[in-house]
Chain A
């Protein structure tokens, strides 16, 4: 039980995929212009990561070692295809705004990385907790980046539309004069650079104490 919690927690803070091991940068920077896109991408990654981790840890003894990477890729791409079809059917707006980045979950280094480094060596229960922790860590960092980028860069926060409400929260002062560059691709790279520096600084401070 204790190791389960450890596996779960490590993905959120100590081995956070975005800020510490810096995997899956492409979707991180590309979809974080709106909160809803970042959240859906995070949910998509959790879905694929969880199911592929489960299947790979079940099949780990059946897959020959020399062709394991192609096998993992086939399993992952099968789940990505399922995810694509689910999004297309139930969330068409999100499907359109994620565009090419949705099928690109296949080559997201986090998923293949966890399959290779964790699911192929551990049992199903451990792999489930590892996938949930890593996926949640990814989702949280994506949501955090998108909240700041959208709030400062556009002065809005886009959530799910409920009934008549369009799902867009407008922030009073920022909405009139947003700092546009943060919502643009250049701002994403700048913001990521400063965040990484801040994270390195904070984690080194924690180690000293």
Chain B
């Protein structure tokens, strides 16, 4: 698959939230206002991109030569946990302004399914290093797109009368469902029509 194909696949066709349901907890939890949604989205994009590269390298340079492929789940989750800590420390030192904006979201990302998900998908799809990196960024951008759209919907919903039992979480799920329906317009035919399949 071409690089553009990977970008379109991970942002639109296999959107991590609306199609694959990866990273649903922060999607419901942090989408109350658009400012924090952008912060969360960008932090996730940053971590998915970095984690894809590091997990790729450690899988092919460490686990495969040692014939320990079955340990990948354990190794990846530890890498991600360490990476998130490291990124937090680096950002705190290098750019206090960025740390202030992203700080509270970074620790939450360790248990975000999207990060472990993209690392495992990269290995399962046997992408090369550059493809993994692009897939990581695109998956993060897809997450950002969905969470920003959702936060705008929720800002509108908060001033709209909603039936008592549907307030807050249920109506969020239903709006996400309607959003997912519109994302169904993007499917593999799009890739075929654009001539992007290998």
Q: Which of A's residues lie within 8 Å of B, judged by CB?
A: 22-23, 25-26, 29-30, 69-70, 73-74, 77-78, 80-81, 84-85, 99-100, 103-104, 106-107, 109, 112, 181, 184-194, 196-198, 200-201, 204
| A107-B112 contact in complex given A70-B81, A73-B78, C-beta closer than 8 Å | yes
Bound CA–CA A23/B93 (angstroms): 34
Structural contact, B73 and A73, CB atoms closer than 8 A: no
Structural contact, A104 and B116, CB atoms closer than 8 A: yes
Structural contact, A112 and B111, CB atoms closer than 8 A: yes
Bound CA–CA A30/B71 (angstroms): 24
Bound CA–CA A100/B70 (angstroms): 14
Neighbour of A193 across the interface among B23, B81, B172, CB < 8 A: B172
Chain B residues with CB under 8 A of A201: 165
Contact-size category for B: 35 or more
Q: What are 15 residue pairs bridging A and B, where the CB atoms are less than 8 Å apart in the complex? A: A30-B20, A30-B21, A70-B81, A104-B22, A107-B112, A107-B116, A109-B25, A181-B181, A185-B19, A189-B174, A189-B177, A189-B180, A193-B170, A197-B166, A201-B165
A173 to chain B, nearest CB (A): 25
A82 to chain B, nearest CB (A): 10
Neighbour of B24 across the interface among A26, A77, A184, CB < 8 A: A26
A142 to chain B, nearest CB (A): 13
| A103-B116 contact in complex given A25-B24, A109-B111, A189-B180, C-beta closer than 8 Å | yes
Considering residues A69, A73, A84, A193, which has the most beta carbons from chain B within 10 angstroms of its beta carbon? A193
B70 to chain A, nearest CB (A): 6
Q: Is the interface of A mostly helix, strand, loop or mixed?
A: helix
Q: Does B171 contact A (CB under 8 A)?
A: yes
Name the residue on A nearest B18 (C-beta): A185
Chain A residues with CB under 8 A of B117: 100, 104
Structural contact, A81 and B174, CB atoms closer than 8 A: no
Chain A residues with CB under 8 A of B178: 186, 190
Q: Does B157 contact A (CB under 8 A)?
A: no
Chain A residues with CB under 8 A of B28: 22, 25
Structural contact, B176 and A189, CB atoms closer than 8 A: yes
Chain A residues with CB under 8 A of B171: 193
Q: Does B54 contact A (CB under 8 A)?
A: no
Given A104-B116, A198-B165, 10 new contacts (CB under 8 A): A73-B81, A80-B73, A106-B73, A184-B180, A185-B180, A189-B18, A190-B173, A193-B173, A196-B169, A196-B170
Chain B residues with CB under 8 A of A80: 73
Chain B residues with CB under 8 A of A189: 18, 173-174, 176-177, 180
A113 to chain B, nearest CB (A): 10
Neighbour of A190 across the interface among B25, B70, B174, CB < 8 A: B174
